Amino acid sequence: MSESGLLERLIEALRVLPGVGHKSAQRMALHLLERQRERGRHLAAMMAEALDKIGNCQQCRNLTEHAVCSICRSAARDATSICVVESPADLSALEVATGYRGRYFVLHGRLSPMDGLGPQELGLNLLAERLAAPGLQEVIIATNPTVEGEATAHYLTQMARKHDLKVSRLAHGVPLGGELEYIDRGTLAHAFGQRVRA
Amino acid sequence: MSESGLLERLIEALRVLPGVGHKSAQRMALHLLERQRERGRHLAAMMAEALDKIGNCQQCRNLTEHAVCSICRSAARDATSICVVESPADLSALEVATGYRGRYFVLHGRLSPMDGLGPQELGLNLLAERLAAPGLQEVIIATNPTVEGEATAHYLTQMARKHDLKVSRLAHGVPLGGELEYIDRGTLAHAFGQRVRA
Ligand SMILES: [Zn+2]
Ligand SMILES: [Zn+2]
C-alpha cells in the first residue's frame, strides 16, 4: 500500500473530512478502490459540483444552489416570522425537531471579534433589511448557549427591538431526559428560577 | 438545509464511505461547504484521479498507479520470498507491523464460490507463474483466520507444494496482551496444543 504515491495523496486528502484520521482515511480509500469505484466516482463528481454551485441564499443566507432557497421561495412558509440561527446544521436540527413553518436567517457564525467575525461577516446588514420589511411580525433568536452565542443573541435582540416585533429566544432549562445530578449548576439554577406552574 | 437538492445529493453520495450514516454525511458536507471549500475541491479531484489511475500491479496485483508497483520494482526487496495476502489493507498492516522485506501477492479476496470468487478472480494463474519462476524460495501464506481464509490457505499450500519452496503460514495463538478468559476456545485449544518451550 505505502508504495502508491497517488493512494497516499488520496488518504491525506480524505483527512479534511471531520473526525477522519489516517486509519479511517486509509479504510475509506481502500473501500472505494477495492469495492466502490462507480459510487466513488459519483461522490467525487457530486462533491466538485456542490462546492462549485452551492452558495448562500440571497434572502436568508442558507446554503442553496439557487439564488433564493426553497424555504424562502415557498408560499407555504410563514413570511411574518424569521428564526435566526448560527449555521445550516442548526437550521436543519430545528426543521427536524420542531413544527416551525416560518423562515430563517443564517449567520454562518457568531459575533467573535477575536476571529474577525463582526456584524458584516454575519450579514447583519441584510438581516436589518429583513427586519425593516413590512409584514414581519416575529423574530426568534436561536443562537447557541455559548458565551459568544449569548453575546450575539443580545446584539440581535437590540437590533430587533428597533422595530415593532415580537422577539423571543429559545428557552433554557433541564434537557428532557437529563438527570439533575449531571446538569451544570448554571442551567439548574436557571431552570429553578424560571420554573413553570405544574 | 433540507431545501437544497444538490446538498441532499452530496449527503447521499457521501454514504458510500464506510461507517458513514446520514448524520455523519451531513456533518461532512456542511463542514466542506462552510469551512473547507478549497481542500474539499482538492479531495474531489484526488478521488477522481485515484479512481481513474490506480489499478493493480502486473506482478503482485497490489494497488498502484504504475504498471509495476514500487515494492516489485525495488531492488532492496528480497525477490526470493512472496507473501500472499487477501487485501491491500492486510499488506499494509504487515508492512507496518513486521520487518518483512520480501515481495507480495494480493488476492483481492478469498476463495468463495458462493460469491463467484474462484481461482481466476483471485489471479491464481498469475500467482502460479510467479511460483514457477526461477529464484523463488519461500512462500508465506497470510490469509485471514476465517473459514474461507483457511480454505484459501489450504488451496495455496497445495499450489506451492508443487514447487521446491519453503511454505509457511502465520502462527495462530493467544494474541499478545490478550487475556485467556476472553479468548475463544478454538484459539485457546490451538495455543495449548502448539505450546512452545519456555
Ligand atoms: Zn433562503
Ligand atoms: Zn507489485
pTM given for the model:
0.85
Overall average pLDDT of the A36-47 stretch: 98
In single-letter form, the type of residue at position B3 comes to E
How far is the C-alpha of B9 from the C-alpha of A47, rounded, in Å?
Answer: 9
Q: Is the pLDDT of residue A76 over 50?
A: yes
Share of chain A above pLDDT 90, in %: 75
With 0-12 CB in 10 A as exposed, 13-18 as middle and 19+ as buried, what is B21? Answer: exposed
Least confident of A90-94, B59-63, B95-99: B95-99
Which residue ranges form the domains of chain B, and what is each CATH number?
7-19+28-53 (no CATH), 77-169 (3.40.1360.10)
> Nearest CA of chain B to the CA of A19: how many Å?
9
SS3 B28: helix
Mean pLDDT value across chain A: 91
pLDDT in tens, A127-184: 999 999 999 999 999 998 889 999 999 999 999 999 989 999 888 887 877 777 777 8
Q: Whole-angstrom distance between the N-terminal and C-terminal Cα of chain A?
A: 64
Mean pLDDT value across chain B: 91
Interface touch A51/B69, C-beta < 8 Å? no
Q: Tell me which of A15, A17, A122 to substitute to probe the interface with B (most B C-beta atoms closer than 10 Å).
A: A17
The residue with greater pLDDT, B4 or B169, is: B169
Interface touch A33/B54, C-beta < 8 Å? yes
Secondary structure letter of residue A117 according to DSSP: B
Q: What is the pLDDT of residue A198?
A: 67
Overall average pLDDT of the B96-115 stretch: 93
Distance in Å, CA A57 to ligand 1 centroid: 5
Interior CA angle at A125 toward A120 and A128, to 5°? 140
Interior CA angle at A52 toward A51 and A56, to 5°? 75
For residue B139, list its beta bridge partners: B82, B167
pLDDT in tens, A26-41: 999 999 999 999 999 9
Distance in Å, CA A42 to ligand 2 centroid: 28
Q: What is the pLDDT of residue B75?
A: 95
pLDDT category of residue B2 using cuts at 50, 70 and 90: very low
CB atoms under 10 Å from CB of B5, counted, come to 12
How far is the C-alpha of B156 from the C-alpha of B128, rounded, in Å?
Answer: 10
**Cell numbers linked to B116:** 463467484
